[in-house]
Amino acid sequence: MKRKHKSALEVTFIYLFLTFMVVIIAYPLLWTFGLSLNPGTSLYGAGMIPENASFVHYIWLFTDPSSQYLTWYKNTLIVAFSTSILATFFIALTAYAFSRYRFVGRKYSLYLFLVLQMFPALMAMVALYILLNTIGLLDSLLGLILIYVGTAIPMNAFLVKGYFDTIPIELDESAKLDGAGHFRIFFTIMLPLAKPILAVVALFNFMMPFMDFILPRIILRSPENYTLALGLFNFVNDQFANNFTRFAAGSILIAIPIATVFLFLQRYLISGLTSGATKG
């Protein structure tokens, strides 16, 4: 009986904790969605379910030329997909080199990757601004993409390198006996087996341009080059009369591409973990 009571208390505690976490996560989302349905512009007085709820703000975002929302959305998708693809590729190449090759400075380079993550990104903002201005990529999406890709390599390469280390090197040796070169081994053996960690890296790098505000704020100057985080800021400053309801509507729509990419990559995570668990 004591064991049954103890088990029941543990299950009850777990469900209470999960319910508490769901409320903490879901309440801000529901409140933001309700705010986006408020026909007015005020942050207060809308409630969870506003009176006279309508999609007028969503319609305005997609139909009014002055909103520039579609332009910001397009810019963000370009930066997000480019960053995710390029960063994942270069991270995988870097991790493969550190995992399978032995060269002078390898050990200290790995330590350097870790040390670089100890310093906040704000410390490099001035240097990045001067660098992009020197090479003529200031106020451009290409410059923003290069910075995102470069800053994503150190820590992510260290993580992917650890995953590559778990793949038996005998697979590489067998492929070499069959005449496969380094690039063929990398593309046909290492990448397919590393789908779980590469999917995580791709997802995180895809999300970054949607969430980041500081770096685009420093690099981008023209409204037509803004990303969503920077563009939506205009909805809550004095120039746009503190329109929090339009800001809420634009923020809710950010979740669509992130959720789509997550659902697409989720099957690679599940298939990779399942196949790894059944290997002998």
Tens-digit pLDDT profile for residues 255-269: 889 888 888 888 776
Q: Is the pLDDT of residue 143 over 90?
A: yes
Tens-digit pLDDT profile for residues 148-197: 998 898 888 888 888 888 888 888 888 888 888 888 888 888 888 888 88
CB atoms within 10 A of CB 111: 10
Q: Are 198 and 92 in contact (CB under 8 A)?
A: yes
Sign of the alpha-carbon torsion through 120, 126, 201, 265: positive
Tens-digit pLDDT profile for residues 41-55: 666 655 667 777 788
Name the average pLDDT for the chain. Answer: 83
Q: Is the pLDDT of residue 274 over 50?
A: no
Question: Which residue, among 123, 143, 125, has the nearest Cα to 135 in the 3D structure?
Answer: 143
Q: Which residue has the higher pLDDT, 154 or 76?
A: 76
* 6-10, 245-249, 257-261: the lowest-pLDDT one: 6-10
pLDDT band at 280 (very low <50, low <70, confident <90, very high): very low
Structure pTM? 0.84
